[in-house]
Amino acid sequence: MTTWRHSVKSLLIATIAIAIVSSAHAQSLPGGFVYLRDIDPTIIQDIRYATSVNFVGRPLAGYGAGECVVKREVGLRLKAVQQELSSQNLSLKMFDCYRPGRASLDMVRWSQNGRETAADRRYNPRIPKTELFRLGYIASRSQHSTGAALDLTLVDLKADNSAKYDSSRIYADCTAPVEARIPEGSVDMGTGYDCTDLKGHTAASSINPDQRAWRRRLVAAMAKQGFVNYSKEWWHFSLPGAGGAAYDFPIPPRRN
């Protein structure tokens, strides 16, 4: 009986030890990286590449959790942007933050797989996917992998943001009116997120005055904290000097 109790006790201790190690591993990040949720939990997150609601149509390699991971300085500056926006009943919404290097290669492989589907054309209505790399929409090495680049938008907290993606519905492409395209629970920027089209360029002339005003408002709010917009994507911003080496660690779940 003593031997049996000793074996059970040893097994229990080993199980607890494994659980502790696994839990610690589940939220371990390289030095300098943080979960944005730990810096500012009020910033809304909708990490699209951890889901199937993106231009590839499935979760990308390395996205083990739908969490925004950034360099600490980036997180602190986002917090400052959010504090200013909150007084205007607005919020940031994050679509992508740190991106594992393997996810960028996953995008490149997708662009070269020789298939053009209706789902692809929701995001690339006029540009063949094989051209996305040459035109600068996809890169084998992304600034996102440094932890200093972001994809984001604005949310009007007074508006009805309850519309959700319905997998059974056929949506129009990303340049269509907001009520016809994939819902994003955010202000109408003139195109959906990840829209590889001239209309997605930040200074596009083909959008209406309200949409143009929202883009300018987002760019101005981010610029106050040093973020720079990428002219071909109204949603993409980076913080010069905060990046450095590119990383390829997978995004682990955050422990509450």
d(CA 54, CA 170): 14
Residues spanned by the domain of 128: 32-238
Q: Which residue has the tokens 């007074």?
A: 158
**What contacts 54, CB < 8 A, 6 or more positions away?**
48, 60, 123, 194
Question: Strands 90-96 and 44-45: what pairing?
Answer: parallel
Q: Is 162 a member of any domain?
A: yes
210 in a labelled binding site? no
As a whole number, mean pLDDT of residues 217-241 equals 97
d(CA 252, CA 69): 10
Together in a domain, 104 and 24 = no
pLDDT digits (tens, 9 = 90+) for 87-137: 999 999 999 999 999 999 999 999 999 888 888 899 999 999 989 888 888
pLDDT digits (tens, 9 = 90+) for 126-166: 999 989 888 888 888 899 999 999 999 999 999 999 999 99
Are 158 and 89 in contact, with CB atoms under 8 Å apart? yes
Alpha helices for 56-171 (secondary structure H): 72-86, 101-111, 118-123
Handedness of CA 216, 219, 198, 126 (dihedral sign): negative
Query: What is the DSSP code (8-state) at residue 109?
Result: H
If one counts the domains in the chain, the total is 2
Got the DSSP string for 10-57? HHHHHHHHHHHHHHHHHT---TTEEEHHHH-TTSEE--GGGSS-STTS
Together in a domain, 67 and 19 = no
201 in a labelled binding site? no
Q: Which residue has the tokens 């040459």?
A: 134
Together in a domain, 128 and 4 = no
Together in a domain, 21 and 52 = no
Query: What is the model's pLDDT at position 14?
Result: 37
Sheet of strand 90-96, all strands in order from the earlier edge strand to the far edge:
44-45, 90-96, 149-156, 233-238, 228-230
Does 184 participate in catalysis according to the annotation? no
Are 212 and 220 in contact, with CB atoms under 8 Å apart? no
Query: What is the model's pLDDT at position 21?
Result: 33
CB-based burial of residue 228 (10 Å sphere; 0-12 exposed, 13-18 middle, 19+ buried)?
middle
Together in a domain, 42 and 10 = no
Query: What is the model's pLDDT at position 232?
Result: 95
Alpha-carbon 179 to chain mean position: 22
Together in a domain, 57 and 20 = no
Q: Is 202 a member of any domain?
A: yes
CATH of residue 201 = 3.30.1380.10
Residue 228's H or E segment, with its range, is: strand 228-230
Residue 50 has pLDDT above 80, yes or no: yes
Query: What is the model's pLDDT at position 27?
Result: 57
144 in a labelled binding site? yes
Together in a domain, 143 and 22 = no
- pTM attached to this predicted model: 0.88
Together in a domain, 173 and 213 = yes
Query: What is the DSSP code (8-state) at residue 144?
Result: G
Query: What is the DSSP code (8-state) at residue 125?
Result: S
237: β partners:
150, 229
Which tokens sit at 162?
A: 């309850």
Indicate the average pLDDT of the chain.
Answer: 89
- The CA-CA-CA angle for residues 66, 200, 33, to 5°, reads 30
pLDDT digits (tens, 9 = 90+) for 164-177: 999 999 999 999 99
